[in-house]
Structure 1
Amino acid sequence: MSAREQVIVEYGHEEGEFYLSQVQRTEPFERNNHYHGTYEIYYLLAGRRYYFIKDASYSVAAGDLIFINKYDVHKTSVLGSPQHERIVMNFSDDFLGKDHPLFRPELLRMFVREPHQFRLKPQEQWHVERLLARMAEEARRRDEGFELSLRLLLTELLLFAARLKAEPADAAEDPLSPVHRKIGQVVKHLNAHFSQRLPLPELSTAFGLSPAYLSRTFKKITGFTIVGYQHLMRVREAQSLLAATDDKIADIAVAVGFEQFAHFNRTFKKLTGASPTRYRKLNRRP
């Protein structure tokens, strides 16, 4: 920890059952694009941030509440002054999923809705910040029964969010350019056609941009090269098929768009840290 970053609370890890992190920063910070198998809640206490989530860009202000679904690619970066304070929370299905007594399907619906952003009113901000402060205190103190308390507070937060009516951010306050929205359209196209060959010249023609400009701008906004993003989408789909089906690994490689099996193996291991065979063994669903 340095003077430019103050960690107020840190508990668990983002791929575990429950994770809570509150950090203040005074210098530029950019989180690389990533995804994980847990749900994420992001709340900005102070400052402004830029967020790329799945296929859309968001200008995030203090008091905004963000919900990110499992396996959705996301990235946060500087917007204006780098000074900001945020709270990030991740939780797994095991922590508050369908087999948990407190689970209700409506508690998770905001993770699949779009947009991912809630712009809270002052009274709503106060309520959310009170809940988050109580969770941070439970995570810091870790008194007897603190995990049950965290589950109860998380349930209350999710129920509160489920009752919210989404109100879009004021367009006059939104600094995101038409270019961000154009790249969002490109990302949606890649998501829908990830298993197909999409040569850069054809893609750039379809969206009215030069190949060089599209390639450069896509990388700047999403953090990925176009090919890198397509590989990520293919590997994500392969992960799902490996865990949920008995299909041969070679057939899965072809189904998600890899023409060479060796290329599939290398790319899968690079992005997940495990070979397809080992991933299936560790993540097989009953």
Structure 2
Amino acid sequence: MNDLIGKKHMIGDASFVIQHMRSTSSSAMPRAHSHACYELYCLLEGERVYLVNGKIFTAQKGDIVVIVPHELHSTASSQVKYFERVLIHFAPEFLRESDGNVLNFPPFQQSTLLRTPVKEQPEIERLLVQMVAECKEENSLYDSYVRHLLLELLIRLNRLHAVSPEAPGSNHPMHEKVAEIMAYIEAHYREALTLEQLAKHFFISPAYLSRVFLKLTGFHISEYVRVIRIREAQKLLRTTRQKVHAIAEQVGFEHISHFNKTFKKFAGVAPIRYRQSHKY
């Protein structure tokens, strides 16, 4: 079966983006990342390992991973190489104001994996295929129709979550161990954490931990610690009026120059510019 990497279709100023893709080879996001929009990762066939906000899921046919804004996530291959998925990014503003209330419901407050019952999968797939087709053909009022289809999908996802609120995890023991380590880092990121310390704490060989952690997250341990610190700094810049140097110290940086350099490397802009571009 040939790989298919479909065109990314956008509506407006990228307030809605959808892409259909299938692949027969191992693939992964280069590293865990976050963005300011919602993401729906809809797996039509195959199996994928999905890392989101310190949790690791094994997504199967019919599963939909919901990623809320600013949460760290990535995907990687499982033992099943072939997969087919539809990926959707959308800003809350894409929905009509009266319809945006759907995002206040639980599955859109915290990133999660939703397992779709087999009998529900054809209808979910119909909505996804129709959205891709509408964006590809761009017939009259297609943007309004896509908005309608997206709202229907979100309502269905909310109902699925109401029936099964607990997301299934990964059945791979090492995946669970990496998730534990990620949770530990998130709880202790202000401390001076090293690969050797973490390996000793969790009774794992440093070389093995480094290899598995890199495969699942795209990061070396030291990089991931810095990412968690910067992510927390971003949150504080968006939601508080604290001085930049105070935030740097609070998230574990001893020197403001190191903080500024690291922040710009991971966020793409300086801390002050980041704060200016996000409303308080």
Please confirm whether the aligned pair reaches a TM-score higher than 0.5, indicating the same fold. yes
CA distance in 1, matches of 2:105, 2:33: 21
Determine whether 1:198 maps to 2:196.
no
Q: Name stretches of at least 5 consecutive residues in structure 1 with no aligned partner.
A: none
Helix, strand or coil at the partner of 1:12: strand
Match of 1:25 in 2: 23
Which amino acid in 1 is paired with 2:46? G
Q: Which runs of 4+ in 1 moved over 6 A?
A: 167-171
Match of 1:259 in 2: 254
CA distance in 2, matches of 1:129, 1:214: 38
Helix, strand or coil at the partner of 1:47: strand
1:1-286 matches, cutoff 5 A:
4-12=2-10, 16-32=14-30, 33-96=32-95, 100-105=97-102, 108-113=105-110, 116-164=112-160, 165-166=163-164, 176-283=171-278, 285-286=279-280
Which amino acid in 2 is paired with 1:145? L
Displacement of 1:56 in angstroms is 1.9
Identical-pair percentage:
33
Question: Could you tell which deviates more after superposition, 147-156 or 209-218?
Answer: 209-218
Helix, strand or coil at the partner of 1:34: coil
Which amino acid in 1 is paired with 2:61? A
Aligned residue pair count = 276
Tell me the alpha carbon deviations over residues 142-161 of structure 1, each in whole angstroms, 9 at most, x when there is no partner.
23322222222111111111
CA distance in 2, matches of 1:192, 1:121: 35
Question: Could you tell which deviates more after superposition, 50-59 or 123-132?
Answer: 50-59
Q: Name stretches of at least 5 consecutive residues in structure 2 with no aligned partner.
A: none
Q: TM-score by structure 1 length?
A: 0.86
Helix, strand or coil at the partner of 1:67: strand
CA distance in 1, matches of 2:102, 2:185: 29
CA distance in 1, matches of 2:270, 2:23: 37
Q: TM-score by structure 2 length?
A: 0.88
CA distance in 2, matches of 1:246, 1:167: 36
Q: Give the RMSD, CA atoms, in angstroms.
A: 2.5
CA distance in 2, matches of 1:39, 1:177: 27
Helix, strand or coil at the partner of 2:8: strand
